[in-house]
Chain A
């Protein structure tokens, strides 16, 4: 035997892999969120950046700290804590005090994610759960929205000029004072990651091109909201105008593109995903029309998160080769 001392690895097939790992996917999500961050810095100044960075560092720290304390494998290399950190920052007002943000990061990473077993095992979306948790301080979360175009410093006074958000107008059946174009580019008040539709759509394109997500959830979600808003316009507004404002206002695009598509908390089958998107859309409209908060996206997605077991069953593919009307031949 010439080749006697070969050290060969033995393993079950397949011996090939797409190269697309959890870390690669999460990094792609971070990249897809970058345009929205740039838009936020453009309209709100450097504080948008510092809030995001603080949130990311806090999330990664809590992820590392919890798993180190519990003597578990370190999971920070999968980048999921980074994504959570960015998303938590994005759903907050830009003037939110840093300490509140860090408490929210702790809640998302430790309580919502790690206590349930870590990545892949949480029931609800950590970032949205953190946002719901932040409503324990209602005045900080929806009291004074900064006016876009007024640059905020990283530290110091941050609540000088405030403005109403489009959602506040829509909640009472009025069209917002901003034009649709301003909404599209993001010259509006609101949570700072959700303002620019253009930036979020660029992110969507990137996620589609890199095959991180498909159009199934965003399209069924947005489509349902558009159709329902078109059929049931409020305050005597023109249906198409009302529907467009509903689509472009508030957290809908951020929610439909980045939150509802979160792998762990959305269904795994094609049909399940479409049904889930429709469910999110219906709940969003119901909460926006009849809820006590002006925005309904985050609660709609959180409620739907709790139902994915049902949607996984609903979308189960038909068994290959099964005869009509029966499971077995």
Chain B
């Protein structure tokens, strides 16, 4: 089945709030750079309080599944310690007071071309630039690339941006298609795929037109139908190639590797400009925001600065989350700062507050129909409520990608995703206990 995946829903887009706003740079006075930007090992700080740093200077690194972090402004390190992170917890961070000059690190090295560089050398450049997946989960890109060496025949570039509200990738594709394509050329040099496909949901005609002009045969451009979660890794692979990533497996298991368009642009900056991942486009939007917009924000910009740059609040916010409404993480404070995977800050106003409904399942089956992973959410939920570990395993709770399609359409508004996160934890804890015995 080409161009299609199982299930899915059609949430209202709200992209018109910010899709006409060009990506505009902002210059915060301080940045707070989180040492734990993604799953895997956290970085250890390489600088001390009082040190002067420049843009692109490595300030944290670690062993194992880890990408280094860099100073995103030039200035002075004023604080090292736990700060609020977008995940809702306090995480070791480095606070830098900007001198406003954005002096570049003298060690950064520009390249005219990548001829003569081996795949391993390119991967090492990408690792040193601290590049992680910029679409969501934030998996270190160098690890993805090296684990895909020799196994990948299809490279997929993800420009689906299927989450409502978010327009940062849309703007990037319109404004800098050539950077994305130069990044793709680097990925192609490393992985040597037979096929390279850029997938963009067809509600972004300007992005599609801009990419088409810049293509020059570097990749196939595939407009995708608008359906959430079109941009989820496994669903994009299924829609484009018809292949299904096996349970618990990685895309490389079916010969695929998926990279977000913003990640491609970051690879271009790292390889050709020598610039590590120190800034990214962030959509600041929602009904509570006075002037929804797309900002080019240094990594570590506080959410407060983002809201200020977007004209402040137009009305009292009811809920604020990083990312889009389907998978975003709700925030309890605006003190937290952006990390590499933050593509948006969405602020709901009181008008978005839902009416309460009694959470009684009526067996309508809408969740079963919506699940892109072929799960049966109503039975999974029952198993979790009953703390039935056997049933949780039999219903494959670990297969859930937490896309939220089931809960989106649930007439009883049962918090299904929350239930499955609990279920996953129950199962993981039980397995860990078993392992100890």
Asked whether B145 is an interface residue with its Cβ less than 8 Å from the other chain, the reply is no
Which of A24, A118, A317 has a CB less than 8 Å from the CB of B411? A24
B65 in contact (CB, < 8 A):
no
B-chain residues with CB within 8 Å of residue A14 when the two chains form the complex: 325-327, 404, 407-408, 417
Report whether B360 and A22 are in contact in the complex, using a CB–CB cutoff of 8 Å. Answer: yes
Partner pick for A15 among B6, B245, B319, CB 8 A cutoff: B319
- Contacts A263-B362, A268-B363, A322-B247 given; indicate if A15 touches B374 (C-beta within 8 A): no
B258 to chain A, nearest CB (A): 15
Q: Is the CB of B360 within 8 A of A118?
A: yes
B311 to chain A, nearest CB (A): 13
Query: Would you call B321 and A15 a contact (CB within 8 A)?
Result: yes
Instruction: Name the distance in Å between B227's Cβ and chain A's nearest Cβ.
Output: 14
A184 → B minimal CB distance (Å): 31
Interchain CB contact under 8 A, A120 and B335: no
Do residues B369 and A270 form an inter-chain contact, with CB atoms below 8 A? yes
Interface flag for B368 (CB, 8 Å)? yes
* Distance, CA A326 to CA B418, complexed state (A): 29
Whether the pair A16, B11 counts as a contact (CB closer than 8 A) is yes
Contact B417 A322 (CB under 8 A): no
Interface of chain B, main secondary structure: loop
In whole angstroms, what is the CA distance A80 to B246 when docked?
41
| A329 with B247, Cβ < 8 A, contacts A8-B331, A15-B319, A24-B411 known | yes
B137 at the interface (CB under 8 A from A): no
Contact with B along A246-260 (1 / 0, CB 8 A): 000000000000000
Q: Is B214 an interface residue (CB 8 A)?
A: no
B39 is an interface residue with CB less than 8 A from chain A: no
Q: How far is the CA of A46 from the CA of B161 in the complex (A)?
A: 56
B357 in the interface (beta carbon within 8 A): yes
B304 interfacial by beta-carbon distance below 8 Å:
yes
Chain A residues near B318 (CB, 8 Å)?
8-9
A167 and B202 alpha carbons, distance in the complex (Å) = 54
Residues of A near B404 (CB, < 8 A) are 13-14, 16
CA distance A21 to B361 in the complex (A): 11
A8: contacting residue among B234, B244, B319, B327, CB under 8 A = B319
Q: Are A75 and B413 in contact (CB under 8 A)?
A: no
Bound complex: CA A323 to CA B313 (Å):
51
| B411 near A320: Cβ-Cβ < 8 Å | no
In the complex, which residues of chain A have a beta carbon less than 8 angstroms from the beta carbon of B363?
120, 263-264, 266, 268
Q: A22-B362, A316-B376 are in contact. Are A16 and B325 (CB under 8 A)?
A: yes
One digit per residue, 1 when the CB lies within 8 angstroms of any chain A CB and 0 when it does not, for chain B 333-374 equals 111000000000010100001110110111111001100111
A6 at interface, CB cutoff 8 A? yes
On whether the beta carbons of A15 and B330 are closer than 8 Å, the reply is yes
Say whether B319 contacts A320, CB under 8 Å. no
Task: Write the chain B residue with the least CB distance to A74.
Answer: B358
Residues of A within 8 A of B304 (CB): 1-3
Q: Which residues of A contact B376 (CB under 8 A)?
A: 268-269, 312, 316-317
Q: Is the CB of A10 within 8 A of B330?
A: yes
Q: Which residues of B contact A71 (CB under 8 A)?
A: none
- B352 CB, min distance to chain A CBs, angstroms: 8
Chain A residues contacting B373 (CB-CB under 8 Å) are 320
Residues of B within 8 A of A119 (CB): 360, 362
Q: A80 CA to B6 CA in the complex, in Å?
A: 31
**Chain A residues whose CB sits within 8 angstroms of the CB of B402 once the complex forms:** 13
Interface residues on B, range: 35 or more
* Cβ–Cβ < 8 Å partners of A6 in chain B: 317, 320, 333-334
Q: Are A18 and B330 in contact (CB under 8 A)?
A: no
Q: Residues 110-149 of chain A: 1 if any B CB is under 8 Å from the residue's CB, otherwise 0?
A: 0000000011110000000000000000000000000000
A120 to nearest B CB, angstroms? 4
Whether, in the assembled complex, B378 has its beta carbon less than 8 Å from a beta carbon of chain A, the answer is: yes
**Interface positions of A from 265 to 286, Cβ below 8 Å from B:** 266-270, 273
Query: A16's contact among B164, B248, B332, B374, by CB below 8 Å, is which?
Result: B164
Q: Does A292 contact B (CB under 8 A)?
A: no
Q: Which of A17-31 contact B (CB under 8 A)?
A: 17-18, 20-25
Contacting residue for B332 out of A10, A267, A268, A270, CB 8 A: A10
- What 0/1 pattern do residues 259 to 299 of B give for CB contact below 8 A with A? 00000000000000000000000000000000000000000
The interface residues of chain A lying within 8 Å CB-to-CB of B159 are none
Q: How far is the CA of A3 from the CA of B246 in the complex (A)?
A: 45
- Contacting residues, chain A, for B353 (C-beta < 8 A): 9
- Do residues B247 and A21 form an inter-chain contact, with CB atoms below 8 A? no
Determine the distance from Cα of A323 to Cα of B243 in the docked complex, in whole angstroms.
Answer: 11
Q: Tell whether B329 is near chain A: CB-to-CB under 8 Å.
A: yes
Closest to A75 in B: B358
A320 touches B331 (CB 8 A): no
> Within 8 Å CB of A118, what residues of B?
360
Nearest CB of A to B72, in Å: 21
Residues in B neighbouring A75, C-beta threshold 8 A = 358, 360
B412 sits at the interface (CB 8 A): yes
Q: Knowing A120-B362, A263-B363, A264-B363 touch, does A17 contact B320 (C-beta < 8 A)?
A: no
A320 touches B247 (CB 8 A): yes
- Which residues of chain A are near B320, meaning CB under 8 Å? 6, 8
Q: Which of A13, A264, A269, A270 contacts B328 (CB 8 A)?
A: A13
Can you give 21 contacting A-B residue pairs, CB < 8 Å? A2-B304, A8-B332, A11-B415, A12-B418, A13-B326, A13-B328, A13-B417, A14-B417, A15-B325, A15-B348, A20-B409, A22-B411, A22-B412, A24-B411, A263-B365, A268-B368, A317-B368, A317-B375, A319-B374, A320-B373, A321-B246
Can you name 9 extra interface pairs (CB under 8 A) apart from A8-B333, A14-B327, A16-B164?
Answer: A10-B88, A13-B325, A13-B326, A14-B417, A15-B346, A18-B11, A21-B413, A22-B412, A121-B360
* Across the A-B interface, the 10 shortest Cβ-Cβ residue pairs: A14-B404, A268-B365, A12-B418, A16-B325, A321-B244, A317-B374, A15-B325, A329-B246, A321-B246, A263-B364
